[in-house]
Structure formats: structure tokens, C-alpha cells
Amino acid sequence: MTIDTQGPVTTTHGQERAEDASVVGRMANYLDERTSLSGAVKFLGRKIFPDHWSFMLGEVALYSFVVILLSGTFLTFFFQASMSEVQYDGSYIPMKGVEMSAALQSTLNISFDVRGGLLIRQVHYWAALLFVASIGLHMLRVFFTGAFRKPRELNWVVGFLLFVMAMAEGFTGYSLPDDLLSGNGLRIIDGMVKGLPVVGTWISYLLFGGEFPGTDIVGRLYTLHILLLPAIVVALIGIHMVLLIINKHTQFAGPGRTNDNVVGVPIMPVFAAKAGGFFFIVFGVLMLVAATVTINPIWNYGPYDPSPVSAGTQPDWYIGFADGALRLVPPGWEFLIGPYTVSMNIIVPVLALLVLLGAVAAYPFFEAWVTGDRREHHIADRPRNAPTRTAIGAAGLTFYAALWAAASSDIVATHFRLSIESVIHLCQALLIAGPFVAFFVTKRVCLALQKKDREIALHGFESGRIVRLPGGEYIEVHQPLSEYERWRLVSYEDYQPIMLRPDRRGRITAGMRARARVSNWFFEDRISPVSRPELEASQHH
């Protein structure tokens, strides 16, 4: 605030304004004199956001989270996180008189006896699925456009943590009603924990307060679900937003768009209005889905009982890759050390998942190391212009998709009339071979697209108009690009393999060798952007 130096001036100015200002103006003034909000509003209001549909995916996640908070608060008014035994006496006939935990009973009551309860329960659940899905899509956008490069690596990591936290939120929520489906999900987690060598059983007993399922777990998950995890998510979202403002948003290349500016609309009033409207659109879509489509019909699943496991028991989609990893383990991965059986059946898939997640978190640092590029990047890449990165992304996506598909192997088998064994074997093949095929194909497609772009930038579009010259020669007339279109095609970053040179002290270390080798692998196949001389030459002929 500037009161100390310019205090009197500001005050008189404020008084003058207050006399003839509207009610809103006076209220704004009142607030501003006490909080100096106007500075922040001016700063934020002038922030510019570029306009591209893929830049709105993170917003979808944010708005889903708001819907989750609102609906979740409503649910806490009626949910009882207790595993004490009660007899259901609500209005759903096929559950009447059935022994169940208070958690399931209260969830059934929310569904059938609380006014609007089922709608809110379903909107909470659908919003949760959408939350994680939109985070996933947002991450893919950031990855494939290279928006994680300096200075945004840290925000990538924050976003990654949000993704993990969202999965944790989802899973703890899935487990709360203590129905048959969620109980079996917890049993699998229990199994995974117990599959860890030596410490597994101890950790399991610690988590469940004794032998699974015990009577503690729902209460513990509830605390995580409504207290700790949301607090972490909110804090991370705050950091994510602040970093977004500090780093500014990326933009795609275009005329007038450089690495040093941001072209778009200011937050006030256009972007804020659009974003506010978009919130209600997301809310509306979620409400529409929740009002018309059943989700998690706990009234079919019934109370958890360790003996029955329903066909089609699956986790929610975002945990599917973990379930799939367990399903794809070939039989017999265990051996004996003395009298002890050492089982690889659980620990290998768990490690594979951790490696996959770790690779996602670490990728920006890996790429920065490979390119040796320390500059800031504010122009988003078109995926084709970074062929190796795009190919790595496609490979990772294929790996994830194979795990994901494996989690629904039984449903795939029944609906496509296959045997479940062949589906599993197919997924195993896809898991191992798929990433390599995806890498190769994607990289070639990217290079081909770049070639096409180069061709178009130099010679324009083929018009299909054939002209016969007076001398008898036939030529096809090419339609030249406008400057605006050409700009989009020719301005991208061109990296070359790093040369292996001795450092200042004349040494070549193993790290440098490794880096040169990876850099060569990364950039040996490349299409360089059209250069100015080439462009001029093409325009003359």
C-alpha cells in the first residue's frame, strides 16, 4: 500500500469519488480503502489468457473439483463413517432387513430417503470421474505441446501430484460406502500391501487396525477423504494457479505471438465472463449426467462380505491401470529362498506402476537434460514438431492403455465373444510390444507431417489447376500461403544432437557420453524448419 507517502491525496480522491459514485462503486471503494484489493484486481484483471480449446481442460478439472466440494459437503451431512452393524430398514425393498454397516445404511438412506440425495450422490461420483479424466487429458495436452519446459517444470510436478492426489481421493471415496464392490477393492489393496516382502503384513495390520477388514478402515478413510486429502488438493491447486500466473500461459505460434508476449483476452471482463459461464456449463453437464445415468448402484452390490465377489468387479477407471497390472502377471512368478517363498506376483506390477508414475513426474527434467536447453519456452509446440517426445508420449500412453484394457478383460471377453485368456494374452503382448510399435509409428507420422508442412510452406497448396504453357509444358498451379498461415508452419524450435566436446577442463565424462548418445537418439531424425533463404528461393521461381 502507498498510504504513507500519498495518504492524504488518496483519501481526498476517495471522498470526491464516493460522493457521486454508484452503490457498487462506493462498496468497491470501501473495500479497496481497507484491503488495497484494487492493485491485485488490476494485476489479475489484466492477465492475458490465450484462446485455444485445449487450454480449457485444466479449467474443467477445477470446476469438477468445485462441484465435488459442494456435493461432498451435502453428503457429509448424512453419511455415517461407521462400521457398526445395523439392520437396514429404509425404503429400498431388496435390502429390507439385511445386516450391514452403518456406512452402507446411511449411503442407502442418502440414495432413497434423503430428498435429492441420490442426485447429489451421483453428481459427486460423476464429478469425481470427470475430475480425474479431465486432469488426465490436461496432462496429455501439456505433455504433447511441451508446455512443461522451463520455466514450468515445477508446475508440471505440482500437477502430477494433483493427479496422484485425485486418484487417492477417488479411491478413498470409492471405499467409503462399505458395499460389496468397494470391499473387494479394499481387499485387493490389502493383498497388494501384504504382497510387499517382510513389511507387508505389518503395514496391512496397521492400516486396517488388525486383520482385514476390521472395523476401523471406513472411519480412517473418511478422515483422509474429507479432511487431509482435500486440504492437500486445495493447497496444490493454489500453488498450481499461482505458478500459472507467475509463469504466464503458453500459446501456439502465430503472427505477433512471440516467446516474450502473451496474445489473448484479459481476464477482466472477457475471460472471467467466459470462465464463469464455462463453470456453469460443466456443472450443467454433470447435473444432466447425474440425473439420467446411474453410477455405483450400491443397492445392487449390497453389504461387504468377504465371501462373495461379483463378476465384473472393477475399480473406477483411474485405478484400472493398477488392476490391469495385477491381471497381466503370468502365473508362477515366485521362487524359494531356503524355507521362504518369495513372490514376484505382486511386487513386480507394483514396481512397474511406480516406475510409470515416476517417469511421468521426471520427464521434463529428462528432456531438459537431453536438449541441454536452458532457455525459457512460452510457445507451445505442435506435437509433430517434437517427433521423439510425441513418440515417447504415444508409447507411454500405449503402455497405460494396455494396463487399462486388461482391467476390463472379463467385460471385453464377454462383449466381444472372446476367451478371457486370449484377451489377457493380447493385453500382455500389447503391454510389451505395443509401446515400441507406437513409438515407431508415431515418430514416422510426425516426420511425415513435418515434411508435408515444409512442402506446403515452400510451394503452397496444390490447387488441382493444370495449365498448359505456350511452349507446350504443363504445370500445376500452386496456391501460395498467406503470411499468417506460413508463420504457423515455419516457426518451431529445431534441436540438433549435442556434439560430444570436452568440457573446460578437457574431460569427457561418462555422463556427457550418455547425454550425447541419448541426444543423438532424440534428434538424429529431424526435419528442419524452412529457412529464410529457402523461402525466398521458393518465392522467386
Partner 1 sequence: MVIASPRRRRPRSTRTGRRSTLASAALLLIGLLATGGAYAAFTGAAAADSSASASIRGANITDGQKLFAANCATCHGMALQGSKAGPTLIGVGAASVDFQVGTGRMPLAANSPQGEKKPRQFTDAQVKNLAAYVASVSPGPGIPAGKYLTGNGNVAKGAELFRINCAMCHNVAGAGGALTQGKYAPSLKGSTAAHIYEAMVTGPQNMPVFNDQNISPEDKANVISYLQYLDNNASPGGLDLGNLGPVSEGLFVWIFALGSIVGITVWLTAKSN
Alpha helices in 87-116, H assignment, sequence order = 102-112
Asked if 406 interacts with partner 1 (CB under 8 A), we say: no
User: With binding defined as CB under 8 A, does residue 107 bind partner 1?
Assistant: no
For 253, what's the count of Cα atoms within 13 Å in the CB-facing half-sphere? Answer: 18
Instruction: Please select the residue that binds partner 1; options are 75, 129, 287, 346, rule is CB under 8 A.
Output: 129
List, in order, residues 6 or more apart from 459 with CB less than 8 Å away. 478, 538
**Helix/strand/coil for 340:** strand
Phi and psi (nearest 5°) for 383? -50, -35
Closest CA to 365 of 515, 177, 204, 162: 515
CB of 176 to partner 1, least distance (A): 15
Considering only 81, 186, 282, 446, the residue that binds partner 1 (CB under 8 A) is 282
Residue number, 320 or 435, with CB nearest to partner 1: 320
Q: Looking at 35-149, which runs of residues are DSSP E strands? A: 48-49, 85-87, 99-101
CB of 395 to partner 1, least distance (A): 21
Nearer to partner 1, 350 or 420 (CB): 420
Task: Region of 154 please: left (phi>0), alpha (psi -120 to 50) or beta.
Answer: alpha
Task: Give the residue from 320, 294, 296, 326 showing the smallest Cα distance to 310.
Answer: 296
Whether the bond between 364 and the residue before it is cis, its omega within 30 degrees of 0, is no
Tell me how many degrees the CA angle 14-15-21 measures, rounded to the nearest 5: 80
Longest dimension (CA), the chain: 97
User: Residue 531 CA to chain centroid, in angstroms?
Assistant: 36
Of 408, 442, 450, 519, the residue at the interface with partner 1 (CB under 8 A) is 408
> Is residue 398 within 8 Å of 438, Cβ to Cβ?
yes
Partners of 179 in the beta sheet? 303
Determine the interface stretch with partner 1 among 2-10, 125-133, 449-457, 459-467 (rule: CB under 8 A): 125-133
Q: Please, which residue, 232 or 285, has the CB nearer to partner 1?
A: 285
- CA-to-CA distance for 36 and 24, rounded, in angstroms? 16
Q: Which is nearer to partner 1, 59 or 493 (CB)?
A: 59
Of the candidates 535, 521, 525, 520, the one whose C-alpha atom is nearest the C-alpha of residue 446 is 525
Closer by beta carbon to partner 1, 303 or else 349:
303
Residues β-bridged to residue 477: 465
- The residue range among 12-20, 285-293, 446-454, 517-525 that interacts with partner 1, by the rule CB under 8 A, is 285-293
Nearer to partner 1, 224 or 289 (CB): 289
Of the candidates 25, 297, 330, 502, which one interacts with partner 1 according to CB under 8 A?
297
How far is C-alpha 247 from the chain's CA centre? 19
Task: Examine residue 312 and tell whether it contacts partner 1 (CB under 8 A).
Answer: yes
Which of 78, 279, 317, 495: binder of partner 1 (CB under 8 A)?
317
Interface mask toward partner 1 for 230-269; x: CB under 8 A:
----------------------------------------
Alpha-carbon dihedral 139, 142, 145, 151, rounded to 10 degrees: -150
Task: Mark the segment that binds partner 1 (CB under 8 A) among 286-294, 376-384, 392-400, 493-501.
Answer: 286-294
Specify the residue for cell string 496391512: 204
58 sits near partner 1 (criterion: CB under 8 A):
no
Is there binding between residue 175 and partner 1 (CB under 8 A)?
no
CB of 410 to partner 1, least distance (A): 4
- Only segment of 29-37, 206-214, 362-370, 417-425 that touches partner 1 (CB under 8 A): 417-425
- Binding positions for partner 1, 12-51, rule CB under 8 A: 51
Q: Give the binding range for partner 1 (CB under 8 A) out of 202-210, 273-281, 470-478, 501-509.
A: 273-281
Stretch that binds partner 1, among 306-314, 492-500, 501-509, 533-541 (CB under 8 A): 306-314
Of residues 141 and 149, the one with the C-beta less far from partner 1: 141
Q: Describe the crossing of helices 272-292 and 57-76 by its angle, rounded to 10 degrees.
A: 50
Tell me if 495 contacts partner 1 by CB under 8 A.
no
Site string for partner 1, 364-403 (x = CB under 8 A): ----------------------------------------
**Residue choice 95, 104, 218, 489 for contact with partner 1 (CB under 8 A):** 95
Question: In 342-459, where does DSSP find H-type helix?
Answer: 347-371, 387-407, 409-415, 420-459
- Could you tell me which stretch among 4-12, 154-162, 218-226, 315-323 binds partner 1 (CB under 8 A)? 315-323
Per-residue b or e along 97-107, where b marks 16 or more CB atoms closer than 10 Å to that residue's CB: ebebbbbbbbb
Size of the site for partner 1 (CB under 8 A): 70
Stretch that binds partner 1, among 24-32, 301-309, 382-390, 433-441 (CB under 8 A): 301-309
Instruction: Tell me: does residue 270 bind partner 1 (CB under 8 A).
Output: no
Phi, psi of 257 (to 5 degrees): -100, 120
Rule CB under 8 A: is residue 114 a binding residue for partner 1?
no
Q: Are 481 and 457 in contact (CB under 8 A)?
A: yes
Q: Is 94 in the site for partner 1 (CB under 8 A)?
A: yes
Q: In angstroms, rounded to a whole number, what is the distance separating the alpha carbons of residues 131 and 124?
A: 10
Name 491's Cβ contacts closer than 8 Å, sequence gap at least 6: 253, 379, 529
Return the C-alpha cell found at 307.
465371501
285 is an interface residue for partner 1 by CB under 8 A: yes
Q: Which is nearer to partner 1, 92 or 495 (by Cβ)?
A: 92
The reply to whether 93 sits near partner 1 by the rule CB under 8 A is yes
Site residues for partner 1 per CB under 8 A: 51-57, 60, 92-98, 111-112, 118, 122, 126, 129-130, 133-134, 137, 180-181, 274, 278, 281-282, 285-286, 289, 291-297, 299-302, 305, 307-317, 320, 407-411, 413-414, 417-421
